[in-house]
Structure 1
Amino acid sequence: MHSAGGSVRYGPVVTARGRGVKIFILAGEPSGDRLGGALMGGLKTLQPDVRFEGIGGPDMAAQGLVSRFDMSELSVMGLAEILPKYRALKARIRQTADAVLALQPDVMITIDSPDFSLRVAKLVKEKSNIRTVHYVAPTVWAWRPGRAQKMARFIDHVLALFPFEPPLMQAAGMACDFVGHPVVAEPVASDLDAKTFRADLGIGDAPMLLVLPGSRRSEVARLGAVFGEAVAKLMYKKPNMRVVIPAASAVVHDVIEVTKDWAFAPIILDPRDHLPEVAKAQKRAAFRAADVALAASGTVSLELAASATPMVIAYRMHWLSFRIIRWMALIDTVTLVNLVSDTRVVPEFLGPECTADQIAGGLAKVLADPDAQNAAMAMTMERLGQGGEAPGLRAAKAVLARL
């Protein structure tokens, strides 16, 4: 058994039939596609004669995958959205499992999207002994711990993003390697980039607040008004503060609409105004340039930590959903920086606490002591693999080492 955080031994893999490794790999949403593309790149580096078949998006296509169907068919979230497409999704699950069984690969790698990928793995295991690897461990440390035991019936090996996950997966009966979080491989803006960003937008040395209301329309709708009110309260005390919103492509129209009702005019970074790489660089510069950020709960806290930007996290949902989740939760914080660093330095305002007064107070406290989160953010990035091998390469080594 490999240690959770140690290196994985690797040697060239040759199958019993004397050929290179044949892999069926599938992802169901953009974040999984990015993981898959990095993993495929690592596998090609270590095993040049590797062969891929499966389902993916543009990042995996760039590594040579010809997707069996458009990955966007699987990017469905929420019960109301899934029900009309249930029969089509069920057919795709069966079609994908049949393709795996027909190919008889040396390993099948499923990436996140558990509602789809784990159902495929279950069907494959019922009719074969094909090795199964799942990339991204279920969040059993947060809620529903029994998922690991159920998953162990048809998953042999898990690739984990967080260093505290391998013991949980191993206890359920699966091999597990910590391979690092993809955030550590993402580029980060420099201090010069941040200074140029401030100069180009006329911000100069004024205090700058980054507002991140989410990447889904439902999040922007729920958080837009309370975020605007909270920031207005803060700006009453800091009238020279500038507010910047790097809007995600999918919600930029919603952000523009919701901010029309704000008491001040934020600077909205519209990714449609630039080529994709330029828009990404501008967003990175905004993250680095900000003095503090107000963000919806999610992996964005890790992006902020990578840029060493202190933050306040807030999230609002239906009151019944919040009570159910709070009742089932095994953790006392949802912020990944707090969890990975094993601290509670990032303030969070969730559910009934997601009010303008409390958020404004939290932002004021962070601005008064912006260095209080520095150690936790640095520790988070170190524990997620910053400075080591790229996660895609570590994941590739872990897959090949256990074949």
Structure 2
Amino acid sequence: MRVFITAGEPSGDRLGAALMNGLRDMAPDVQFSGIGGDLMIGEGLDSLFPMDEISVMGVAEILRRYGALRARVRQTAEAVIAAAPDVLITVDLPEFSLRVARLVRQASDIRIVHYVAPTVWAWRPGRAARMARHVDQVLALLPFEPPYMEAAGMRCDFVGHPLVTEPVATPDEAARFRAAHAIADRPVALMLPGSRKSEVARLAPIFGEVAARLQARRPDLQLVIPAAGPVAQMVQDLCAGWAGDPVILDPREAGDFAPAQKRAAFGAADVALAASGTVSLELAAANTPMVIGYDMGWLSRQIIGRLLLVDTVTLVNLVSETRTVPEFIGRNCRPGPIADALLAVLELPQAQSDAMQLTMQRLGRGGPPPGQRAAWAVLDGLRGPA
């Protein structure tokens, strides 16, 4: 069995590696080619070129890198067609993946599977119909997504979210974190301004003003800032002068212990302010109540703001079918209301706790690992209708 698989971001690399592992368990003779990062390479992939060359986000960045991206799209499609695999699996990164899929479909009948459904439930629903012209099957992370894909004519399998298999801190690990940083029994607020430079540059000043307001009203509150690796120095520079002498967790200093340190911080926290995105599910997995604050570039804000179809962008709210997580997006991302919401959540966290537990259950916690479910779905799709 021959599989051509592509990913372009660390999250996609993790999904791709777990899927590859699941496929090898079920089809030991499988051979892989494609594009991926260290994790997929560790599963036996010889990457066509470095994965980060196709990682793009936001309208402005896509326009700036359009020429280089277009060349990589064509190179990848030509490699797929030449390899003639049993299946092409594109993981997330629709700006790249779906362009490759279109070129491959124009030149062949190779089965095409896309892993991670586009957010057609949130904006631009017409993407599903356009996708169906050249994608046969979609693997969805969220339980409410299959009907949107199936209505457009594609098979869609909910395979679970990878976060349900990630370890979380034990109470002892959380207690040791508090002891290591002399926090004792004081309440802890996490500040998570993002993992991309553009996010941190935009959100850190706002989150810093929130921190000042929190310290003025709750001087006993200990701020903890777990910095993401790619922006660790930037976080150090922008957040070191925040009120309250925050604890900044730098993964460069922690080395191999960094993931465990981050988990312990999440487990020790009483509340969190986070940028929008998957981090809300990481917090839900740790049962840490949260408030979401996010802003974007002017062009992206104008486009997305006009096309958005839902009244919330927070996955905990969407999956649990509640609106328990306060969010402040775009022009509403202002320090005063955010600080008020954080203090309110800190005082009354139970409604969020219930919603977070329901979210993790619906995402597949307690069931088979998503990588195995995804592998089974791919193989079942190759077998065709019963």
Global fold match (TM > 0.5):
yes
**2:257 aligned with 1:297, yes or no?**
no
Q: Which secondary structure does the structure 1 equivalent of 2:90 belong to? A: strand
Deviating more after overlay: 302-311 vs 266-275: 266-275
For 1:157 and 1:104, the matched residues in 2 are separated by 18
Q: Deviation digits for residues 206-253 of structure 1, max 9, x if unmatched?
A: 111111011111111111122111122122221111100000111111
- 2:211 and 2:243 in contact (8 A); partners too: no
Matched ranges for 1:84-99 at <5 A = 85-99=65-79
TM-score (norm 2): 0.96
Q: Which runs of 4+ in 1 moved over 6 A?
A: none
Determine the structure 2 residue equivalent to 1:75. Answer: 55
Structure 2 residue corresponding to 1:167, chosen from 135, 140, 147? 147
Deviating more after overlay: 160-169 vs 365-374: 365-374
How many equivalent residue pairs?
A: 382
Q: Which secondary structure does the structure 2 equivalent of 1:402 belong to? A: helix
Determine the structure 2 residue equivalent to 1:147. Answer: 127
How far 1:310 sits from its partner (Å)?
A: 0.4
Q: Which secondary structure does the structure 2 equivalent of 1:275 belong to? A: helix
Determine the structure 2 residue equivalent to 1:343. Answer: 322
Sequence identity percentage: 63
For 1:29 and 1:266, the matched residues in 2 are separated by 30
Q: Which secondary structure does the structure 1 equivalent of 2:81 belong to? A: helix
The amino acid that maps onto 1:169 is: M
Deviating more after overlay: 311-320 vs 78-87: 78-87
For 1:209 and 1:218, the matched residues in 2 are separated by 23
Give the 3 Å change call, closer, same or farther, for CA 115–22 of structure 1 in structure 2.
same
For 2:77 and 2:197, the matched residues in 1 are separated by 33
For 2:65 and 2:215, the matched residues in 1 are separated by 45
Give the aligned CA root-mean-square deviation in angstroms: 1.3
For 2:147 and 2:196, the matched residues in 1 are separated by 33
Structure 2 residue runs of 5 or longer lacking an equivalent are: none
TM-score (norm 1): 0.92
How far 1:389 sits from its partner (Å)?
A: 0.4
**2:39 aligned with 1:59, yes or no?**
yes
The amino acid that maps onto 1:25 is: I
Q: Deviation digits for residues 40-93 of structure 1, max 9, x if unmatched?
A: 000001111111111111111111111111111111334544445433322221
- 1:159 and 1:395 in contact (8 A); partners too: yes
Determine the structure 1 residue equivalent to 2:252. Answer: 272
Q: Which secondary structure does the structure 2 equivalent of 1:274 belong to? A: helix
How far 1:264 sits from its partner (Å)?
A: 2.9
Structure 2 residue corresponding to 1:328, chosen from 293, 297, 307? 307
For 2:86 and 2:239, the matched residues in 1 are separated by 52
Q: Which secondary structure does the structure 2 equivalent of 1:231 belong to? A: helix
Matched ranges for 1:120-131 at <5 A = 120-131=100-111
- 2:59 and 2:300 in contact (8 A); partners too: no
Matched ranges for 1:238-253 at <5 A = 238-253=218-233
Deviating more after overlay: 323-332 vs 109-118: 323-332
For 2:150 and 2:8, the matched residues in 1 are separated by 25
